[in-house]
Amino acid sequence: MKILFYMLLIPIFLTARENPFFPVDNAEDIPLTTNKIENTQPLRRATIKLPSTARTIESVTVEYKNLDGSLSTKKIQLHNSIDWHLPLFISQNYAASPEKRTYTTNKKRVLNYKKLASLPFISFYADGKELKIVTKDKLLRNFLLVKPHRIVCDFKRETDIGSYIKKISSNSLFKKIRIGTHRGYYRVVIELDGYYQYKLIDKKGYYLFTLL
């Protein structure tokens, strides 16, 4: 019986962390997110028509889905008179969005990348939800951390630039870029304006991050 008991304890001691690149101190900071990316259409305008008995609108409640797939609600109190003949609208103000882009007449997207920061061996350009990192250095690893929400990238290079910090003053989703050197690599930290997932594409001469 003792031998059987000790054999049952062995798997407990063999348990290891799934991703050794996440710092232990920040493990609680990682939000649970779903790997399923839904291809939903952007909200333009939705309408609702009230019955003829309606005279005032007291509140509006919006139900939304979070990154981890859970559902939450947000409610605003109004208490305004309404004309039931007219529909109510819910929409987004795309003109005020930092993701706003220009388009040609044939609806092809025109990218307007703006330089955010630059060093002799790496440069950063952004356009809406896209971040282009131009460098010849190999990307060793990349992951997300929160508080604040940020993308962390390690690039292979022996360098001694100390530390570099660049705050992004423009209306950008990317708020700050920090670079620090380590033995054999340097770490790039891109702070974001909120919670995101991201998609990474390795292009020739640059890496393209798209926030989701």
User: CATH code at 156?
Assistant: 2.60.40.3500
Residue 27 has pLDDT above 50, yes or no: no
Domain final position from 92, 118, 148: 92
Mean pLDDT of all residues in 95-106:
53
Of 151, 150, 159, 164, the residue nearest 182 (C-alpha): 159
Q: Quick one: pLDDT at residue 20?
A: 36
Alpha-carbon dihedral angle through residues 19, 144, 166, 159, given to the nearest 10 degrees: 20
pLDDT at 174: 97
Q: With respect to residue 5, please indicate whether it lies within any of the assigned structural domains.
A: no
Residue 32 is assigned to a structural domain of this protein: no
Residues of the chain with pLDDT > 90: what percent? 55
Last residue of a domain, one of 92, 116, 148: 92
Q: Which residue has the higher pLDDT, 85 or 142?
A: 142
Same domain, 57 and 132: no
DSSP class of 53:
T
Is residue 10 domain-resident? no
Q: Provide the number of structural domains found in the chain.
A: 2
Q: What is the pTM of this model?
A: 0.66
| Structure token digits, residue 132 | 């282009």
Same domain for 136 and 65?
Answer: no
Do 65 and 119 belong to one domain? no
Whether 146 and 72 share a structural domain: no
Task: Using pLDDT thresholds of 50, 70 and 90, give the confidence band for residue 1.
Answer: low
Q: Same structural domain for residues 128 and 192?
A: yes
Considering the domain architecture, whether residues 132 and 50 belong to the same structural domain is answered as: no
Question: Average of pLDDT values for 177-195?
Answer: 95
Quote the domain boundaries for residue 66: 45-92
Q: Nearest Cα to 61, choosing from 92, 24, 26, 90?
A: 90
What does pLDDT average to over the chain?
A: 81
Tokens of 18: 């799934």
Q: Rounded CA gap, 130 and 41, in Å?
A: 18
Mean local confidence (pLDDT), 1-16: 50
In this structure, the answer to whether residues 54 and 152 fall within a common structural domain is no
Higher pLDDT, 119 or 146: 119
